């Protein structure tokens, strides 16, 4: 039996595939390569022994998904395939709703049709919006969506809750905080197209000489050094969280039995300011990374980090790697791949 990983050629997906292999699971990848290069697959194969079937296809294409279930013995799905740029979602909201919602409906429908009941979903801390208090727990009220991307994640969660309530589907909603870092081998990592929107890949591209400086959006927040605080989680820890969620779904006991759908925060459980991230990255690369303050961005909360006690208690998962490890591993990948996978 195998786990189908949609979006398995992406940044988080590649690490999830490796973590599932390490946990002894067979994996089938489906990816439409809209935001990944086929070279990623060679790199993932370099880290996984045995066969790794890869299907090029759209997770929102019902017939294509049915063919995958016909050809492979799938017993669980990790659904990561989604468009994820906040800025692009504001420019092309309907494309985001179509892609992110249709693929979620389609994957759930095919699973229910085939009697496959274990579903792990890539959600995001974005569903909390701008929370009044931090750290956020899974009981924290979901905020009004900040953008169509965030709305598509909150709507996907609702779709899956409704699907689980009316079928035997059991769903782990994994709310990621800020994934950073790379596999310690330096073989797979984050390869954003265009100028990266997230802080860590931006910092690393400045270190690599691809960008001039890091813009620090807002230095007058009510935080220790005035810059915004976020919860950064090593992508390898995050990936291992998916293996832990699949194990819990397989055991089927506790909250999955009672509720069908359960949300888990996957973060480090602590926050770092933007300046702390830049300092840790500077230490990892061995020189000071240039940065400059600019105006706050609208919709950016001052501080948000995760309370991860539920994942610890019910999945037996905690993030083990600290910010220094994230920066060293991210830099190791960036240094070996100055132009991303195109450097291979
Ligand atoms: N990276 C983050 O900061 C972050 C934070 C929270 C949640 N997430 C979620 O995690 C998941 C993975 O994110 P990522 O950072 O690895 O992004 P990514 O773009 O690197 O990976 C997504 C992968 O899915 C593929 N894809 C997109 N739409 C598809 C479709 N309809 N059918 C098949 N394949 C499709 C892309 O080609 C890509 O390989 C996404 O659902 C994202 O929303 C990411």
**pLDDT recorded at residue 298:** 80
Inter-residue contact 153 to 111 (CB < 8 Å): no
Alpha helices per DSSP H over the chain: 11-22, 39-47, 62-71, 86-91, 93-114, 148-165, 199-207, 235-251, 255-259, 274-285, 309-310, 323-336
Rounded to the nearest angstrom, the distance between the alpha carbon of 29 and the centre of ligand 1 is 13
Which comes out higher in pLDDT, residue 341 or 105?
105
Q: Which domain holds residue 288?
A: 199-230+269-343
Could you give the number of structural domains in the chain? Answer: 2
pLDDT of 5 > 90? The answer is: yes
Does a structural domain hold residue 329?
yes
The neighbouring-strand residues paired with 262 are 172
Is the shortest distance between the CB of 231 and ligand 1 below 6 Å?
no
The answer to whether residues 54 and 30 belong to one domain is yes
Does a structural domain hold residue 291?
yes
**pLDDT recorded at residue 6:** 98
Does a structural domain hold residue 190?
no
The answer to whether residues 151 and 84 belong to one domain is yes
- Which residue's structure tokens are 């905020």? 143
The answer to whether residues 46 and 94 belong to one domain is yes
Please write the tens of the pLDDT for every residue from 180-208.
Answer: 999 999 999 999 888 898 999 999 999 99
**Domain boundary pick from 266, 282, 316:** 266
User: Measured between alpha carbons, how far is residue 293 from residues 129, 214, 225, 333 in Å?
Assistant: 24, 9, 12, 27
The answer to whether residues 312 and 256 belong to one domain is no
**Section 60-79 average pLDDT:** 98
pLDDT grade for 222, boundaries at 50, 70 and 90? very high
- The residues that are catalytic are 149
The answer to whether residues 206 and 124 belong to one domain is no
Q: What is the CATH number of the domain that holds 327?
A: 3.90.25.10
As given in the structure block, the two tokens for residue 60 are: 């929102």
The answer to whether residues 172 and 76 belong to one domain is yes
Does a structural domain hold residue 192?
no
pLDDT of 254 > 80? The answer is: no
**pLDDT recorded at residue 252:** 87
Is the shortest distance between the CB of 40 and ligand 1 below 6 Å?
no
Does a structural domain hold residue 191?
no
Inter-residue contact 281 to 208 (CB < 8 Å): no
Does a structural domain hold residue 187?
no
Q: Is the pTM of this model over 0.95?
A: yes
CB within 8 Å of 321: residues ≥ 6 apart? 181, 234, 236, 237, 329
Please write the tens of the pLDDT for every residue from 313-328.
Answer: 999 999 999 999 999 9
Rounded to the nearest angstrom, the distance between the alpha carbon of 7 and the centre of ligand 1 is 6
């Amino acid at each position: 039996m195998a786990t189908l990983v949609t979006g398995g050629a992406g940044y988080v997906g590649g690490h999830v595939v490796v973590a599932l292999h390490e946990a002894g699971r067979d994996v089938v990848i489906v990816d439409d390569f809209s935001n990944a290069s086929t070279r990623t697959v060679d790199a993932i194969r370099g880290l996984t022994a045995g066969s790794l079937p890869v299907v090029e296809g759209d997770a929102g294409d019902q017939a294509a998904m049915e063919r995958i279930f016909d050809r492979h013995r799938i017993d669980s799905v990790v659904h990561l395939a989604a468009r994820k740029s906040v800025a692009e979602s504001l420019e092309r909201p309907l494309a985001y709703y179509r892609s992110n919602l249709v693929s979620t409906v389609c994957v759930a429908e095919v699973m229910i049709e085939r009697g496959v009941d274990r579903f792990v979903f890539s959600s995001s801390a974005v569903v909390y919006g701008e929370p009044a208090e931090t750290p956020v727990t899974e009981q924290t009220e979901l905020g009004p969506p900040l953008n169509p991307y965030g709305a598509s994640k909150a709507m996907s969660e609702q779709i899956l809750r409704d699907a689980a309530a009316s079928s035997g589907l059991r769903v782990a909603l994994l709310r990621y905080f800020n994934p950073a870092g790379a596999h310690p081998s330096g073989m797979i990592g984050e390869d954003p197209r265009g100028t990266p929107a997230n802080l860590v890949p931006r910092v690393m591209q400045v270190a690599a000489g691809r960008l001039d400086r890091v813009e620090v959006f807002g230095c007058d927040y009510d935080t220790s050094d005035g810059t915004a605080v976020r919860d950064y989680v090593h992508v390898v820890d995050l990936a291992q969280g998916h293996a832990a969620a699949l194990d819990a779904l397989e055991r089927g006991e506790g909250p999955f039995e009672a509720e069908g759908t359960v949300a888990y925060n996957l973060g480090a459980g602590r926050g770092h300011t933007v300046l702390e991230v830049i300092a840790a990255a500077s230490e990892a690369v061995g020189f000071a990374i240039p940065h400059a303050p600019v105006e706050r961005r609208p919709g950016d909360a001052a501080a948000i980090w995760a309370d991860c006690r539920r994942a610890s208690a019910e999945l037996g998962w905690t993030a083990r790697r600290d910010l220094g490890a994230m920066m060293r591993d991210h830099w190791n990948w960036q240094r070996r791949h100055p132009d991303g996978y195109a450097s291979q």
